[in-house]
Amino acid sequence: MLLDSIQEPKDLRKLSADQLNQLAGEIRERIIRVTSVNGGHLAPNLGAVELTLALHSTFHAPDDKIIWDVGHQAYIHKLLTGRNDAFFDTLRTYQGMSGFPKRTESPYDVFGTGHASTSISAATGFALARDLRQENNEVVAVIGDGALTGGEVFEAMNYAGHMNLNMKVILNDNDMSIDANVGGLSDYLTRLRSDPGYQRAKEDLDALLKKIPTVGPRMADLADRLKDGMKSMLVAGSFFEELGFKYFGPINGHDIQAMRQVFENAKGLHRPVLIHVITKKGKGYLPAELNPDKFHGTGPFDVETGQAKKGKKAASYTDVFAKTLIKLGKENDKICAITAAMGSGTGVAKFKAAFPNRAFDVGIAEGHATTMATALALDGMQPVLALYSSFMQRGFDQLIHDCALQEAPVVFALDRAGLVGEDGPTHHGAFDLSYLRLVPNMTVMAPKDERELQNMLYSALAYQKPTAIRYPRGQGVGVETLDTFDYIAPGTGEVLAQGKDACLVAIGSMVYPAAQAAEALRERGYDIGLVNARFAKPLDEALLAQVFAETDLVVTLEENALTGGFGAAVAEWAADTGLTNPLLRIGLPDHFVEAGNVSQLKKDLQLDPDGIFDQVATTLKGRQAHG
């Protein structure tokens, strides 16, 4: 195989045009094979094969810096930069190769990513550093049309254009985000891409401009201004040109030689350049071409049929959220659902199918979504903003400054809270309890199971206050859901068992594992209590006072960073109250948790029932030994 002979990108420069095309086929085969076993971002990569070959055969990485936006499409880059074997064996596995660019993995991965819309800011920094060092390497950002909807992109282009920095942006336009892309910018790209009238308008304009008479100084001045105005209205890429970027395109992103020629020409321009490349998401694998959304990120699948390998499982938290919101939406027409480019992932797409006018996908714009939801709430609507926990981080200031400060009754439905698995540290929802708990006016809760998620969503809408509910990725514990809901008052936990030796006070996804550990401890003769805390804010202080009075050792459990999390809240409250019971806090450590199967990660971090049992038993034995 040609692919196995490529150790570094410069090997590509020895290949003929035919060999590069052959290599493209081999790469596609490899990626389909590996993702069919390990899962991964198949469709984005299949669309970027020729683009990556053209880039790596023209630019000289790692001296030239190639920055991948989101980074989910960087598999080809990994295959071409000496990681062929590891890719085959370990992509997205525990202690294996990351599914995203990662600086510690390779010198070719110059900037770590996972969240969208950072590449042009990063390129700006690399270009400035290069200029300060008086070197002359190229800096290239590769960004998709979906990631282009994120506001940071425009902050970066505004500045890079202003500084006239030598950097190249390759816009990989496949006319898709995860779901359909949204917005005026997406429409603009569609016009650039496909409207022959638009292209013709450009040619007609040139002809027209030649005909404008320029008699006398005032007429000449008028003609110039008219030309400028018309140019900016009609010239292809004028939006990018106005920001200071020289626009090239659109060009065929599956024609390696055409792209190489444009990239080579762009190298000679020492200024900001944007090259608009058109690709097909899922290219070369029919099931992915036909369903690019399903194959954006996939689990293991059968290559022949494209069918997912996993069997039918219990409903996911996302399904329960969507089903419950639809039911609530039928009874209350003020309820709206908002998401930031994660309609399928959060279940908002289902709500949109039921209530097309009351569901909004704003693109990759979590900050904007938060402010928009705030205003909807202030004007009498009941917005539910569904985001992944780790992407909510993008809207933190808006959550404080717009929503919480004005006490806007927005419900934040934070999916993928806790460990998410193979996407790894960029995507684990490790911090939301910490960063939400510190904000005044917030109510923060986490359900122990699907039924409690239903009741929490129902209750959150009744609170009429900024409220967050966080729940994990994937399937629930399998309890029955209902079509009627029970109200849970703010700051009320639930005593599941009483015990004198220790009480396990767990929140959200840790309640069931804590219950299993408590049972095992009881079998060893310990008297163990169990509390479902439900709320990280406000705490159920009366319940905690009872727990601290009745038991010796208090154990808090959360699938969130220990720093600032639920256990920290209990510790602060106990210290403020003058209680001195020993406190064992179980949760995520103060380092970024790597990628891997969630059960494996939980085992490693002692967050599974066995790990909880061991930690509590060791502490209890230690206390007995010291009398």
Ligand X SMILES: CC(=O)[C@@H](O)[C@H](O)COP(=O)(O)O
Ligand Y SMILES: Cc1ncc(C[n+]2csc(CCOP(=O)(O)OP(=O)(O)O)c2C)c(N)n1
294 binds ligand X (CB under 6 A): no
Whichever of 115 and 254 has its CB closer to ligand X, that residue is 115
Q: Which of 174, 374, 455, 560 binds Mg ion (CB under 5 A)?
A: 174
Q: Residue 420 binds which entry of ligand X, Mg ion, ligand Y, none, with Cβ cut-offs from 5 to 8 Å by kind?
A: ligand X
Q: Residue 44 binds which entry of ligand X, Mg ion, ligand Y, none, with Cβ cut-offs from 5 to 8 Å by kind?
A: ligand Y
Q: Is there a binding annotation on residue 145?
A: yes
Whichever of 181 and 467 has its CB closer to ligand Y, that residue is 181
Tally Cβ neighbours within 10 Å of residue 604. 15
Site for ligand X in 465-494 (CB under 6 A): 473
Closest distance of CB 351 from ligand Y, Å: 18
Closest distance of CB 299 from ligand X, Å: 8
Tally Cβ neighbours within 10 Å of residue 476. 25
Residue 318 near residue 386 (C-beta atoms within 8 A): no
Closest distance of CB 175 from ligand Y, Å: 8
User: In terms of C-beta density within 10 A (0-12 exposed, 13-18 middle, 19 or more buried), how is residue 380 classed?
Assistant: exposed
Q: Which two tokens stand for residue 84?
A: 């062929």
Residue 110 near residue 103 (C-beta atoms within 8 A): yes
306 binds ligand X (CB under 6 A): no
Residue 383 three-state SS:
strand
Q: Would you put residue 282 in left (φ > 0), alpha (ψ -120 to 50) or beta?
A: left
Q: List residues binding ligand Y (CB under 6 A).
A: 44, 70, 72-73, 115-116, 144-147, 172, 174, 176-178, 281, 296, 341, 364, 391, 394
Tally Cβ neighbours within 10 Å of residue 466. 29
Q: Which two tokens stand for residue 156?
A: 């970066």
Active site residues: 281, 366, 394
276 binds ligand X (CB under 6 A): no
- Taking the C-alpha atoms of residue 77 and residue 409, their distance in angstroms, rounded to an integer, is 45
Whichever of 130 and 281 has its CB closer to ligand X, that residue is 281
Whichever of 52 and 177 has its CB closer to ligand Y, that residue is 177
Whichever of 12 and 420 has its CB closer to ligand X, that residue is 420
297 binds ligand X (CB under 6 A): yes
- Taking the C-alpha atoms of residue 54 and residue 265, their distance in angstroms, rounded to an integer, is 13
Q: Which of 49, 70, 274, 561 binds ligand X (CB under 6 A)?
A: 70
Q: Would you put residue 363 in left (φ > 0), alpha (ψ -120 to 50) or beta?
A: left
Q: Is there a binding annotation on residue 254?
A: no
Q: Would you put residue 534 in left (φ > 0), alpha (ψ -120 to 50) or beta?
A: left
418 binds ligand X (CB under 6 A): no
Site for Mg ion in 175-234 (CB under 5 A): 176
For residue 361, list its beta bridge partners: 339
Q: Which of 28, 276, 416, 602 binds ligand X (CB under 6 A)?
A: 416
Give 254-269 as a 3 state SS string: CCHHHHHHHHHHHHCC
CA torsion angle 568 569 573 576 (round to 10) = 60
Stretch that binds ligand X, among 26-34, 218-226, 416-424, 502-510 (CB under 6 A): 416-424
Q: Which of 392, 420, 446, 620 binds ligand X (CB under 6 A)?
A: 420
- Taking the C-alpha atoms of residue 413 and residue 86, their distance in angstroms, rounded to an integer, is 37
Tally Cβ neighbours within 10 Å of residue 583. 18
Stretch that binds Mg ion, among 136-144, 255-263, 332-340, 395-403 (CB under 5 A): 136-144
Whichever of 93 and 459 has its CB closer to ligand X, that residue is 93
Closest distance of CB 117 from ligand Y, Å: 6
Q: Is there a binding annotation on residue 72?
A: yes
Residue 20 near residue 53 (C-beta atoms within 8 A): yes
Q: Which two tokens stand for residue 330?
A: 């039928």
Site for Mg ion in 140-159 (CB under 5 A): 144-146
- In the annotated binding site, the residues are 72, 114-116, 145-147, 174, 285, 366
User: Which residues are documented as binding site for thiamine diphosphate?
Assistant: 72, 114-116, 146-147, 174, 285, 366
